[in-house]
Amino acid sequence: MENRPLNGKVALVAGGTRGGGRGIAVQLGAAGATVYVSGRSSGSQGSDLGRAETIEETAEMVTAAGGTGVAVRTDHSDPDQVRALVDRIAADQDGRLDVLVDSVWGGDSLTDWERPLWEQDLDRGLRLLRRAVETHVITSRFALPLMVARGSGLVVEVTDGNTARYRGSFFYDLAKSAVIRLAFAQAAELRPHGVAAVAITPGFLRSEAVLDHLGVTEDNWRDGAAQDPHFAHSESPAYLGRAVAALAADPDVMAKTGRALATWGLYEEYGFTDADGTQPDFAAHWADALVDEYGPLGDPL
């Protein structure tokens, strides 16, 4: 019999259209969960990101993996839309929500990697923060009462990096660091109610946008290492997804609440592999090949 540790569980993956969010949604489905996939990129109405991926595609992948995928177009910067999404989940699932994944991002086109804060476009930077941080706050505000009412659940804040190392651009760094703090603050308030909250980071993630940038696909991704040798140590979104699925299935997940976690630490504990059977460890690669140029990753926050 196939292992479906999340049979009967209900998850919401906010920002599940592509990248890490899609990987998490699909792997929660593979573990048996019903997964609501939300975001702005729908077959009926796209977003300003101009990408081809849609929430409907992700929901179909969830179902194909063994779960039940439900796509709900939602702009997570709009409290009314988020409230309606959570109300629908509550109505559909008799008030049940076991896993909340805050993976909304949408900031790639807004990140300025070239200039310091005092030379950046302020409106653009603040828009990045609204997309990458405010959306998480809004989503948790409306979703958490379902978990608190049941006295159980897991909140996962998806970020980039789990240390205090500067991430190369002021607003990007502020957004990703703030998301870690969101997990920490939620953990403090949710602990008395039996609900865990963690932040999690992948290593070098092979998102659709990264694959496109290097002119490769998931089938021939290793060819991308000719342009960027560090890409040979990348990981697919499935790896991040399996990390989150392992956390969601862990009966002792409260022991991790308030922590900033990473795929490179969790694979050792839970034993999951990437889609190709490997176990990438980007922290180990960093220590071998990147530390002299960029400094140490630092201790987890």
Mean of the pLDDT values across residues 85-95?
98
3-state secondary structure of 245: helix
> Is the residue at 238 inside a domain?
yes
pLDDT at 72 over 90: yes
Beta bridge partners of 155: 100, 197
DSSP lists the bridge partners of residue 235 as 205
What's the CATH code of the domain at 224?
3.40.50.720
Find the radius of gyration of the CA atoms of the chain.
Answer: 18
Residue 301 falls within a domain, yes or no?
Answer: no
Q: Is the pTM of this model over 0.85?
A: yes
Do the beta carbons of residue 161 and residue 167 sit within 8 Å?
yes
Percent pLDDT > 90 in the chain is 92
Instruction: Give residue 255's identity as a one-letter amino acid code.
Output: A
Least confident of 87-91, 179-183, 214-218, 295-299: 295-299
Strand pairing class (68-73; 99-102):
unpaired
Which of 36, 172, 239, 267 is an active site residue? 172
146 located within any domain: yes
Q: What are phi and psi of 277, to 5 degrees?
A: 90, -5
User: Is there a contact between 208 and 61 (Cβ–Cβ < 8 Å)?
Assistant: no
Among 21-30, 41-50, 114-123, 180-189, where is mean pLDDT lowest? 41-50
36 is catalytic: no
Cβ partners under 8 Å of residue 245, min gap 6: 5, 6, 24, 27, 28, 30, 31, 272
Q: Is residue 300 part of a domain?
A: no
| Residue 269 domain flag | yes
Residue with tokens 């923060």: 129
Distance between CA 285 and CA 299 in Å, rounded? 16
The neighbouring-strand residues paired with 154 are 99, 196
Per-residue pLDDT reduced to its tens digit, 126-155: 999 999 999 999 999 999 999 999 999 999
Q: Quick one: pLDDT at residue 2?
A: 65
Structure-token match 């490769």, residue found? 216
Q: Which domain holds residue 43?
A: 10-294
What digits encode the pLDDT tens for the residues 30-39? 999 999 999 9
In a domain, 137, yes or no: yes
CA dihedral 135, 137, 139, 144 (to 10 degrees): 170
3-state secondary structure of 71: strand
* CA 100 – CA 206 distance, rounded (Å): 23
Is residue 5 in some structural domain? Answer: no
Flag whether 1 is in a domain.
no
Task: State the angle between helix axes of 170-190 and 122-129 in degrees (0 to 180), rounded to the nearest 10.
Answer: 30
Residues 147, 97: contact at Cβ < 8 Å? yes
Number of structural domains the chain divides into: 1
